[in-house]
Structure 1
Amino acid sequence: MLANKTSKIADPFKIHRVFPIRIQGSKDPEEIIIPDPSPGSDDDTDSHERPSPPPFLVRHHSQDNVYSDDPPSVATSEHIGTTSPSAGSSRFVSNTFNLATSEESRSPGTVKDQKVYRCEDEPIHIPGAIQGFGALIAIREDEQGRFVVRVVSENSQAITGLQPEALFELRCFTDLLIKSDKKEFKSRVRSMREREQGSRTNPDVFSLSLTSLMGAPLSCYIAMHWSAPSNLVICEFELMKDMFNPRHPPDDGFPKIPVGVVETEATDEERKLSTTTKSKPLHAVQVARETERQIGSMELFHVLCEIQNQLAAQTNLQDLLDVVVGLVYELTSFHRVMVYQFDETKAGAVVSEIVDDRASMDIYRGLKFPASDIPKQARDLYLINKIRVLYDRDQPTARLICRSREDAATPLDLTHSYLRAMSPIHIKYLENMGVRATMSISLTVNDKLWGLISTHTYGTGMRVSLPVRELCRALGDLASTNIEKLLYATRIKARKPLSSQPPKNSPSAYIAASSGDLLNMFGADFGFLAIKGEARTIGKLFSYNEAIVLLQYIRQRAFKTIYSTNCITKDCPDIQQKFHVISGMLVIPLALSGSDFLIFFRKGQTQEVQWAGNPYEKKRRVGNYLEPRASFRRWSERVVGRSREWTEDQVESAAVLSTLYGRFIEVWRQKEAIVQKNRMTRLLIRNAGHEVRTPLNSIINYLEVALEEVLDERARQHLQRSLQASKSLVFQVNDLLNLTEAEESEFDVHEDNVDLKVMLTEVIISFKDASARPDLEIRLEDDQKVPTIVRCDPSMLRQVISNLLANAIEHSSGKLVSVGLEYISTSDSNTLVEMYFQDGGKGMSEQELDSLFQDFEQVLDDEENQATGLYEGDPKLPPISLGLGLAMTARFVRLNCGQIFIASEISKGTKVSVKIPFRKARPRPDSARDVETPGENSLPTPPLLTPDSAPGAVPAIPGTTAPGIFERSQSLDTILPIRQYTPSHARENSQFTPGPGSLASTAHAVSMTTGPTFDPNTGRYPFPTVSANYQRVNVLVAEDNPLNSRLLETRLTRRGHDVRVTVDGHSCAEVFKATPDAFDVILMDLQMPLVDGNASTRLIRAHELSHLSIHKVPLPTSPNCSSYGRVPIIAVSASLSEQSCAEYVESGFDGWILKPIDFTRLEMIIAAVMDEEIRKELLYGRTLWGLGGWFRVRAGDAAVC
C-alpha cells in the first residue's frame, strides 16, 4: 500500500500525484502469494488474441490416451528383434524407425514387435541406418593390432565394391588399402584414440583409395571418428566420383513449378531483399567451377581467407548474416539459404535469407517457427555435430549389419556421424514443405546454440561433398565467432555508462544525471530508483498509478535477485491492479534486504508475429497420432499485454549494475550517516555558540560600561575579575566554533604586522604567572638575526605559541623548558624562522611519534575523508585524537606553508619545532587607526591562579604515555611536511584560542590582558573614549535582542549620538520611510525574526528607487549624508562572512562590522559618513575583514568586492 493514506471521503478528482514518492515494506509479507518468477511460454491464452486450440488437443478423460498439443503428438515406431539380411545368415540387422500409422498402437509402448516413441522421445542419435549415398564400416583393433570389421552398412558394395559378408571375412581392414595409405590410416586411428576426450567433436576427414577385385582402386573421402563407449572406429566413405549421386544437380534440377507453401504474396521490397546476395564472389570457387576441377588445398586456404575477410568487415549483425547466407549460397548451390535464430523460448525466426525464385516463390524472412519444429534432442545434437546433411528425402536408407549378437546388443551411437539417417518425422516435415534436400550448419555463441544456417533444395537431390561440408563447417565457426564479437561489442557499448567510476555525490543525483544512458542500456521507457524508502524517477514518468502500484509491490516482494518479466499480468497474478500501459519490468536489487532497488518499466506493445503456419494447430490422422505440420501458410498472431523481452545481455548488465551500485550505495550510506552526524554536531555547536556568545558579548560590554564609572577599588576589582572570566569564556566558545567550521571551510588568515619577540615574551610571562610550579624556568633563547616585525595572523600565531608552550610545560618532568627563535633563511618576500619548544620529560617512542604524525595527517585531510573516517593508518596502532590545541596548530602551519618538526628520545625529552616562512612586514602607514598593536585594548591583568585551579585541566597529547617531552635528541628526528596552501578570507574575526579549561587557554587570556592597568592618579582604567573630532550623528538601530539594543543605545548615547532603536527589519524600514532625512546612518542586524536585515535593507533601497522614479528627484537625506549620496546602512552580525561580500553589496549595504562590536572601530565607521578620506582608508581591501569597514567611497560608485 502507499505510504500516504487516502481519506475515506470520496475524492472528486481522478488524477493524483505524490511527491516525493515514498514506499514501505509489507507488514504481513506472508500474505503475499509469491508466484514462480520465470516468465510463461508464448502459448498463454490470456495474453494472446488468437483462436483457441482445436478441441482434439485438449486432454480427455477416457480410456484412449489422446495427446495434448505440448509437445506435438507425433510418433515413430521401431521394430524389435533381429532379422538376417539373407536366409541362413548369422549376421544381425539393426532396427530402424518409421512413422506410426493408424493401425498401430494408440499410445507409446511396446505392442507385438513394435516400440512406439513420441517425437520428443525419439532416440535420433541411434537411428540404426545411414543415408544411401555413403557407406559405414565400424572397426575395432584386436590384441594383435588387426582392425576387425564389426559393423557394416548394407549398401557397402555400392561404395566399396565389397558385400558386407566379404568385409566381415577380411583378416584386417587395412588389407583393402593400397600400401601408401595403410601407414597413414593406422597413424590417424591411433592419434584419434590418444586424443583427449572432448578436445575435438567433428570427424577426421581425409582421402584414401580402396583396392577392388573388379578393377582400379576407388578414390574415396573418409570421415572417421572414435566411439569411446563401444571402442569402435567409425569410418564413413563417400566416393569422389559418384555417377549415381552427383554433387551438383543438372541445370534442369529445378522443380517444374516453383514450390509455394506460405500462400502469401510477398511485397516487392521483401522479395528483392531475399533474392539479392550481399556477399562478394569467391574467386577460387569461380575458377574451380569454370575449369571443372577439384579445389586443391591451397585454393581451400584462399577461400577461407576470403570468407574471413568478408565476415570480419561487417560492423552490424544483420549485414553479417546477409553475407553469411550469400557465401553458403555460392559454396553449395542450394536453392534457399536461411539463418534461423532461436529466441528464449527456443522458437526460431528467419532473420536472413537468399532464395532462387526459380525453385520457390516463398519468402521466409521474418517468419517464425515454433520450438516444437526442432525438438530438444535435435537441438542438442546440433550443438555437438555442427553439420547435418540430407541428400534426398526419397532415397532409401541403408541399415547396419552387425558381426555378432554382442555387436547388435548395443545400438551404434551415430552422434558424430555425417551419414546418420534422418528421423522419419523430419522427412515427412520436409515433404510437407516441398523440400527435397537440406543441410544445416550450427551457429554457436558462448557454447550455446544461437541459430542454424539452413539450406533447402527443391526438385532433385543435392549432395555436398565432404571437403565442401568441412569448408561450410569452418564457415559456420567463423560466422559464430563474428556474431559473438558483434554481440560483445554491442554489450560493451551498452555498458559504457557502467565503466565510469561512481562520483562522490549521492546515488540519486548521479543516476538522475545519467538516466538517459541507463534507459538506453536496458531499452526501458522509464524507471525508479528507490533508496531509503523514497523513489526518484528515471526518465519521463507515465502511467503514474500503475507505476506506484508496481513500486509498492516490488518493495513488498523485496526481490534479492534480478527479476524480469515482459507480461506482468501473467507473471504477477497476485497484483489486483489491471495494467493497460505498463507490461514489462526489470528489477535490480541494490541491497541484500531488497529495500533499495532500481526498476525499469516497458510499455506494452501490440506485436504482430508472423508464423509459418498456425503453431497451435496440427492435422490429425485417422488414427490417434498427429502428423507433422502440413501447413506453412503465413499465419499472423496479434500479441497484446506484453512488452519486448528483456534480453540475456540486459539481464547480465543488470547484475553488473546491481553489484557496482549496490556497493556504491552501501559506502555512500555509511558516509552519509557520518556526514549527517557531523553536520548536525556542527550545527548544534554553532547554534549553541551563537546563543552563548550573544549574552556574553552583552555582559562584557556592560561590564566595560560599568568600569568607566567612578567606583571604589573593591567593586572595581570584582567587576574586573568578572570581565576577565567572561572574556575567557568567549575565547573557549570561539575555540569550538573555529575548529568546527574548519572542517567544512578554510581558515581566514587576518594578516598583520607582528612583533614576534614581544609576542613570545608576553606568552611566556603569562605562563609563568599562571603556572602552579614556581620552580619551573622557561628560558627564551633568542637569535638576533630574526627580524623584529613579521606578517601573519597574530591571533592564530599567539594560539600556536600558547599551545606548544602549554604542551611542553605539561609534559616536562624537569625544571627547565627552553623556548627559542632561530633564523633559517630569507628571500625577497619571506623570512624562514624556526620556533622551538623543548622539555626534559619522558620523551616518546618511534611508534608514538608515528601515531602522532598519522593523526596530524588525518587533521590535514580534506573534509570528506574526515567526515567519513576514510583515513587509512597503520591498523596495528590504536586510534589517537590530537586534541584541540595541536589540531589548530597543524592547520596554522599548513595555512602558512610551514612545517612541524618533532625530535624525541625516551627518558630525555622532546623538542617540537615549527618552521614558518613569515611574510616580510610592510611599512606602517602614518594613520594606523585600523591596526591595533599587541597591547592596545587589552584586558586587565587577572589575579594569580591558585594551585587548585590552574594546572588540573591541562590536556596531554592523547594516546601518549609520556607526560614529559621537548628535548632535542640525535636519536630521533621526525619531520612533518605541510602542504602549500593559499589562505582565503572566509570567516569572521574570531579568536583562535586553546580549548576550554586548559592552561593554554588561561594563559592566553592573561597574555592578552597585559597592557594598561589601573591609574591611581585618575582612579580610572583607560577604556576607549570617543574622540572630540567625531561629530554627533543620528543613528537608526535594527536589533531584536534587548540586551544588544540597550547596549548599543547606551554606548552610542554616552558618546553624544541620538539613537532610535527598532526591534525588527520591518519596523526599521517603516521608520525610515516615515522620516528618511532624520537619520545619518543605519546599523542593521542580519538575524532578526519576520523580516531579517537583508530583506529590510532591500525594502529601504526599493523605497529610494521608487521615490526617484515617481518624483524624478532622489529621496531627501540628512545633511551629514550628502557627501556619500544616500543614507548608509552598516551590516552588524557575528556571522558576517567575507565570501558573502557581494551578496551584502547586492542587498544594499554600504559597510560592515562584526560582533562583538569594537566601539572604537564603530566610531571610525560612523565618522566616515561625513568624511570621504576616512571612507577611503576603511575601504574593503585596504582593511581586514574582521575589523569592519566600507564597501564603496560614494553611493554611486561600484563596490570593490
Structure 2
Amino acid sequence: MNSLPVDLTNCEREPIHILGHIQSHGYLVAIQPDTYTIVHVSDNIAELVGIAPTQLLGQPVQALLAETSVPGNTLVELLNVGCRNDSWDTMNPNRVTLNGQVWNLIIHQYLGLILLEWEPSGDERNALINQQLLAQALTEVQSSRTLVDLLQNTARRVKTIIGFDRVMVYRFGADWHGKVIAEEKDDDLEPYLGLHYPASDIPRQARELYKINLVRLIADATSTPSKILSDSDWPSDRPLDLTHSVLRAVSPVHIEYLRNMGVQASMSISLMYRGELWGLISCHNTTPHFVDYPARQAAKFVSQLLSAALEFRKDEEDKTNLLQYTQNGQRLHEQLIFTDDVVRALVKSPVTVLNMTEATGAALVFNDKVYQLGQTPDEADIRALADWLPTTDTETFLETSQLPNLYPPAEAFRDVGAGLLAIELSRELKEYVFWFKPEQIQEVTWAGNPDKPVTVTSDGQQRINPRTSFAAWIEIVRNTSSPWSEAEIGAVVKLREDILQVVTRQANEIRLLNQRLQVAYEELDAFSYTVSHDLRTPLSSIRCYSEILLEEYGAELNPDAQALFQKIIDSTDRMRSLIRHILYYSRMGRTDLSTEKVDMRQLLEGIREEIMVTAKDRSLQIDIGETPAISADPTMVLQLFTNLIGNSAKYTRLTPKAVIQVNGRQTDDEVIYSVEDNGIGFDMKQAGKMFDLFKRLENARQFEGTGVGLAIVKRIINRHQGKIWFHSEPDRGTTFSVAFPLTTHA
C-alpha cells in the first residue's frame, strides 16, 4: 500500500467538516425537514432526554421528549416557525429546561437536514454585563487612534467577555503565514506577541470554515468526543456534514497540536476584510473552559466591529493613496501632452514616474537608452532585466515582491530591487518603465520550527506530526520587498496608456511595424475572405436544414430530439455572431474614419433602450450623466459604447440590484467617458490580458462571451488616437474610462 507524499499539504486533505463526532459538552439530533424524522443522533443523547439513541433513530422528533416534562409539540411548533420563516438565526438560542437544567438549543438547516444542538446555558445575569461590554467596545472602536490600539483594546474586551487565559489577534500574510500582532494574557503566561506561525498550522479547509463559522469553540481538548449514529436506512456514503455545527468535533491532529501547546480549551473568532479572512482572534485556556452561546455571540459582535473598522480604515487609506497617484498621473499626462517628449515628460520634469508609486527607484528604458531615478540597479543590470522580460509570460506589466525568486541575477541588487513593478512599452524594442523596492530583511520569530516532523507509524505509513515545541525559532527572510498595492498597479496601468498615446504619434512606433503590417494585412484579407465565404455558407445551410427538419418533422420527434435541433440552431446563431465580430475586428484597421460630431446623449440613450429591452427579467438601472459631444466615427463609437455598457450589463447579472453609471467630462484637450458598474469585478493583477483577442478572465467564464468585444474597443480607441484604462476589484465592480482627443486625425 502506497502512502501519500509527505508534505505539509497532507493536513489540507483532512475532512474536518465530516469527522462523525461532536464535542462531549453538547448533544445533537438531525431530522428531515419534511417529516421531522430523526436520522442522526449523538450517542450521548440519553444523558439529555433519557432515551437510548437506537430507540430514537427513525422516529418522529416528538419521541425525543417523551421521557421529559416538556411536551413534544412544543419542539414541533418551534420547528414549524423556523421552517415557515425559512430562518433560524433570529431564533437562536432557544432556552429550554430539561431535567431541571437550562439548555441553549441552537438550530440550523443545511444540505437538506435540520440540525438541533443543545449546549449548557450560562447565567442570564451575564447578558447584561456583556451588553455593557459591547457598548464600551463600540466606543473604543470609534476612539482608537491607531490600529495597534484598536487591536489591543479588542483583545482586552474579548478576554473580559469569555474569561480565557490568553487572547491574541493573529493576522494572515499573503502567503497565509500568520503573526500575533496584539495580545492580552494572564501575567503568569509567557508572551506570544510578535511570534509567527506557518500557514500549515491553519490549513486551507480550516480557513474556509472560518469564513463560514465566525466563532469556533473547543471547550475541552482532553474530553472524549461523542459519536454520531445514523439511521439504518441512511446512505453510508453520506456522512453528516457539520460545516455549520456549533458542536463539531475537533481534528485529532489539531487536538495533538493544542496539547503540545499546553492548551485545553480554545476559541477562534474570524476577522474579515471584504469577504476574505484577514485574521483571527485566537483564544487559549490552560484548563477546560466552556463559553455559552450568548457570550460567544457577544465576542463575535466585537470582532465584527473590528472587521468593519478594518475595512473602513483600509478603504480610507486606499482612497488617499489612489488620489495621490491619480493626481501625479494627471500631472504626468499633462507633461506628456505638453512636451510630446516621453523622456522629458517622465524623468526630467517636476513630477516623474518615481512619484507614481511607493518605490524608492525607477528606470525608463527607451530608444536604447536607460534613464534612472532614485535608488536603482546599475545600467547593465537594468538592460539585462529588459532582455529577460520578453522571454517570460509577462504580457503588458509584471509585479512581484520577490524578484530574485523569479530572476536569480536580481539577488545581486536585492538591496535596491527585491521588488519590481514593470510596464511594457514595446516588447520588440525592449522598452519598459521599471519601479524598484528594496529588500526588507526580516528576522521572523516562529513559534517553534515551522517544518513539521515526519514519523513512521506501526503500519509503515509516514505521518506529519504537530510541533512539540513552541519555543522561539528565528529565521532570516531575504529577497522580499514590501508588496505592491492595487492602487499602485492601477496607477501604472493608466500611465502606460498615457505613454502609448504619445508614442503612437511618433515615428519610432513604425520602425519595426511597416513590413509586418503589410504581411499582416495580406493574411487578414485572406482570413476575412475565408470567414465570409467558406464559413458563412455552410453555417447558413446547417441552420436552414435544421429549421426545415424541425418544422417538417417536429411533431414526430420526442422532446429531447426537438431540444437538440434547437441547440443546433442556437449554436449557429452564436457562431454567426462570432464571425461578425471577427470580420468587424479585422476590417477596422483599414477602414477610413468618417469623423463628425457625435450627439452622445442620443447615442447612449439608444444603447440603454436596447439593453433594457433584453433585461426585463432583472433589476438593472443605467444612469446617464453629463454627455459632452465627441469628434469621432459614429459607427465605431456606437460599437465601442455598446460593448462597454453591454459588458457591464452582462457582468452585473448576478447582482441583486445592478447599477451602471455613464458619465462624460471635457478637459482642455480631450473628452473622457467612464462606464462604472457594481458587478463581479476582477483582480487588477490579471489586467495584462484584458484587451487580447479571444482571451477572457477566469471569473468571467461563467458568462457567455467571445473574447472579441474589448479587443474591438481597444482597436477603435487606437484608431481615434485615444486611450482606455480601467480600475476594478473582485466583487466590487469595474470602471472603464475612454478618452477621445478634441481633434482626431484619421
Tell me, yes or no, whether TM beats 0.5. yes
Which residue is equivalent to 2:297? 470
Paired position in structure 2 for 1:646: 483
SS of the residue aligned with 2:127? coil
The equivalent position to 1:664 in structure 2, one of 498, 505, 515, is 498
1:560 aligned residue: 395
Structure 1 residue 422 corresponds to structure 2 residue 250: yes
Matched, 1:131 2:23: yes
Q: Which position in structure 1 is the counterpart of 2:121?
A: 240
Contact map agreement 2:444 2:476 (CA 8 A) in 1: yes
Contact 1:203 1:223 in 2 (8 A): no
Q: Which amino acid aligns with 1:448?
A: E
**Distance verdict in 2 for CA 1:187–1:543, change over 3 Å:** same
Q: Does 1:364 align with 2:192?
A: yes
Q: Which amino acid aligns with 1:225?
A: H
Q: Indicate yes or no: 2:190 matched with 1:386.
A: no
CA displacement, residues 492-539 of structure 1 (integer Å, 9 cap, x when unaligned): 222222332344222555544788897577442211134454443232
Give the one of 612, 616, 627 matched to 2:447: 612
Q: Which residue of 2 aligns with 1:14?
A: none
Q: Contact conserved, 1:560 with 1:591, CA < 8 A, in 2?
A: no
Q: Which residue of 1 aligns with 2:140?
A: 310
Does the alignment pair 1:335 with 2:165? yes
User: Partner residue of 1:374?
Assistant: 202
Question: What pairs up with 1:199-278 in 2 under 5 angstroms?
Answer: 205-209=92-96, 218-228=101-111, 231-240=112-121
* Counterpart code for 1:481: A
Report how far residue 661 of structure 1 moved. Answer: 1.3
Structure 1 residue corresponding to 2:418, chosen from 560, 584, 589: 584
C-alpha displacement of 1:491: 1.9
2:166·2:283 contact (CA, 8 Å) conserved in 1?
yes
Q: Which residue of 2 aligns with 1:150?
A: 39
Q: For residue 475 of structure 1, give the secondary structure of its aligned residue in structure 2.
A: helix
For the pair 1:484 / 2:311, whether they are aligned, the reply is yes
Counterpart pick for 2:13 among 121, 134, 149: 121
Per-residue deviation, residues 395-450 of structure 1 (Å, max 9, x unmatched): 11111121223254410000011100000000000000101100011112122221
Q: Deviations over 1:857-903 (max 9, x none)?
A: xxxxxxxxxxxxx99658689xxxxxxxxxxxxxxxxxxxxxxxxxx
SS of 1:527's equivalent? strand
Distance 1:333 1:147 in 2: 38
* Equivalent position SS for 2:174: coil
What is the match of residue 257 of structure 1? Answer: none
- Matching residue within 320, 325, 330 for 1:498: 325
1:422 is paired with a residue whose SS is coil
1:474 is paired with a residue of what secondary structure?
A: helix
* 1:161-212 deviation line (CA, Å, top 9, x unaligned): 44324544754438735566653432113323xx6xxxx9x796221425x5
2:79 is aligned, of 165, 185, 189, to 185
2:127 is matched with: 295
CA contact under 8 A between 2:179 and 2:197: conserved in structure 1? yes
Compared with structure 1, are the counterparts of its residues 555 and 159 closer, same or farther at alpha carbon in structure 2 (3 Å cutoff)?
A: same
CA pair 322-543 structure 1, distance change in 2 beyond 3 A: farther
Instruction: Give the % identical residues.
Output: 28
What is the CA-CA distance between 1:382 and the residue it aligns to?
Answer: 1.2
Q: Which runs of 5+ in 1 are unaligned?
A: 1-62, 73-117, 242-246, 248-291, 675-849, 852-869, 878-1201
**Corresponding position of 2:151:** 321
Three-state SS of the structure 1 residue aligned to 2:473 is strand
2:465 to 615, 624, 627: 627
Secondary structure of 2:234 counterpart: helix
Tell me which amino acid in the other structure corresponds to 1:419: L
Please give the secondary structure, in 2, of the residue aligned with 1:234.
Answer: strand
1:344 positional shift: 1.8
Question: For the structure 1 residues 517 and 127, does the alpha-carbon distance in structure 2 shift closer, same or farther, using more than 3 Å as the test?
Answer: farther
Query: Which secondary structure state, in structure 1, belongs to the residue aligned with residue 157 of structure 2?
Result: helix
Tell me the equivalent position of 1:538: 373
| Structure 2 Cα separation of the partners of residues 584 and 646 of structure 1 | 10
Distance across 2 between alignment mates of 1:157 and 1:515: 80
- In structure 2, the CA distance between the partners of 1:552 and 1:220, relative to structure 1 (3 Å rule), is same
Change in CA separation of 1:203 and 1:419 when aligned onto 2, cut-off 3 Å: farther
- Name the Cα RMSD after superposition: 3.6
In structure 2, the CA distance between the partners of 1:576 and 1:645, relative to structure 1 (3 Å rule), is closer
In structure 1, give the amino acid aligned to 2:159: Y
Partners of 1:669 and 1:347 in 2: how far apart? Answer: 44
* Aligned partner of residue 48 in structure 2, secondary structure: helix
Aligned residue number for residue 916 of structure 1: none
Query: Matched residues in 1 for 2:63 and 2:45: separation?
Result: 16
Radius of gyration: which is bigger? 1
Structure-2 residue corresponding to 1:1167 = none
Spell out, residue by residue over 1:526-564, the C-alpha distance to the aligned partner (whole angstroms, 9 max, x if none). 111344544432324564543443244346659424323
Kept in 1, the 8 Å contact 2:402–2:481? The answer is no
Change (3 A) 1:874 1:638: closer
Matched, 1:456 2:284: yes
Q: Within 5 Å, give how 1:1064-1143 maps onto structure 2.
A: none
Q: Residue 648 of structure 2 aligns with which residue?
A: none
CA 1:169 to 1:384, structure 2 compared with 1: closer, same or farther past 3 Å? Answer: closer
Q: Which residue of 2 aligns with 1:400?
A: 228
Shift of 1:137: 0.8
Whether the 8 Å contact between 1:386 and 1:441 is mirrored in structure 2 is yes
Q: Distance in 1 between matches of 2:463 and 2:222?
A: 23
1:608 aligned counterpart, secondary structure? strand
Measured in 2, the distance between the counterparts of 1:208 and 1:576 equals 64
Give the whole-Å Cα distance in 1 for the aligned partners of 2:302 and 2:54.
40
Alignment of 1:657-806 (within 5 A): 657-670=491-504
Superposition map of 1:595-994 within 5 A? 596-618=431-453, 620=455, 623=458, 624-640=462-478, 642-647=479-484, 650=485, 652-670=486-504
Structure 1 residues 147, 673: CA separation in 2 closer, same or farther (over 3 Å shift)?
same
Return closer, same or farther for 1:626/1:170 CA change in 2, 3 Å cut-off: closer
For the structure 1 residues 557 and 402, does the alpha-carbon distance in structure 2 shift closer, same or farther, using more than 3 Å as the test?
closer
Report the AA paired with residue 635 of structure 1.
W
State TM-score, norm by structure 2. 0.60
CA 1:872 to 1:134, structure 2 compared with 1: closer, same or farther past 3 Å? Answer: closer
| Deviation for aligned residue 1:610 | 0.8
Helix, strand or coil at the partner of 2:463: coil
- Equivalents in 2 of 1:397, 1:206: separation in Å? 23
- In the aligned structure 1, how far is the partner of 2:349 from the partner of 2:23? 60
More helix by share: 2
> How far apart are residue 368 of structure 1 and its match?
1.0
TM-score normalised per structure 1: 0.39
1:138 and 1:234 in contact (8 A); partners too: yes
Q: Matched residues in 2 for 1:401 and 1:541: separation?
A: 66
Superposition pairs for residues 13-92 of structure 1, below 5 Å? 67-68=5-6, 70-71=7-8
- Quick one: distance in 2 between partners of 1:409 and 1:876? 62
Structure 1 residues 519, 429: closer, same or farther in 2, change over 3 A?
farther
In 2, the alpha carbon distance for the partners of 1:310 and 1:380 equals 29
Cα distance 1:597–1:330, how it changes in 2: closer, same or farther (>3 A)?
A: farther
| Matching of residue 140 in structure 1 with residue 32 in structure 2 | yes
- 1:501-512 equivalences under 5 Å are 501-502=330-331, 503-506=333-336, 508-509=343-344, 511-512=346-347
Number of equivalences: 501
Deviation at 1:602, TM superposition (A): 2.5
Amino acid at match of 2:495: Y
Residues 60-103 of structure 1, C-alpha deviations (whole Å, 9 max, x = no match): xxx985854x326xxxxxxxxxxxxxxxxxxxxxxxxxxxxxxx
Query: Which letter maps to 2:31?
Result: I
- CA deviation after TM superposition for structure 1 residue 672, in Å: 6.3
Distance 1:138 1:517 in 2: 66
